[in-house]
Copies of this chain bind each other. A is one copy, B any other.
Amino acid sequence: MANSRFEYVRTFERENILLPQTHIIIRIDGRGFHKFSSAYEFQKPNDPNALKVMNLSAQALMKSIPDVMMAYGDSDEYSFLLRKNCDLFERREFKLITAFSSGFSAYYQYYWNIVFPNKPLSVERLPTFDARAVVYPSDSIVKDYFRWRQVDCHINNLYNTSFWNLVIKGHLSPQEAENKLMGTVSSDKNELLFKEFGINYNDEPEMYKKGTVFIRDVRDTLDLVPNSDVNLSKRQVERLRGKLRKVTINELHCDIIKEEFWNKRAWLLK
Contacts and interface: CB of A to CB of B under 8 A. Distances in A.
Q: Give this chain's copy count.
A: 4
B131 A110 contact: no
A94 B103 CA distance: 15
A75 interface: no
Given A102-B128, A144-B6, A110 B110 contact: no
Interface string A137-170: 1100100110110011001000000000000000
A221 interface: no
A129 to B, nearest CB: 5
A266 interface: no
A22 B19 CA distance: 11
A96 B123 CA distance: 20
Interface string A101-145: 111111101100100000001010011111111111110010011
Contact of A141 (B12, B109, B121, B128): B12
A16 interface: yes
Contact of A135 (B19, B102, B126, B130): B19
Chain A interface size, under 10 / 10 to 19 / 20 to 34 / 35 or more: 35 or more
| A9, A16, A99: residue with the most chain B Cβ atoms closer than 10 Å | A9
A79 to B, nearest CB: 11
Nearest to A16: B16
A216 to B, nearest CB: 19
Contacts of A17: 14
A31 B98 CA distance: 10
Contact of A6 (B95, B128, B147): B147
Contact of A148 (B3, B104, B148): B3
Given A8-B230, A94-B132, A138 B141 contact: no
Contact of A105 (B1, B106, B136): B106
B94 A12 contact: no
A186 B3 CA distance: 12
Nearest to A124: B64
A21 interface: yes
Interface string A43-61: 0000000000000000010
Contacts of A93: 94
9 contacts: A3-B151, A3-B152, A12-B20, A14-B19, A94-B130, A98-B130, A101-B101, A105-B128, A109-B109
Interface of A: 1-3, 6-9, 11-14, 16-17, 19-22, 31, 60, 93-95, 97-99, 101-107, 109-110, 113, 121, 123, 126-138, 141, 144-145, 147-148, 151-152, 155, 186, 230
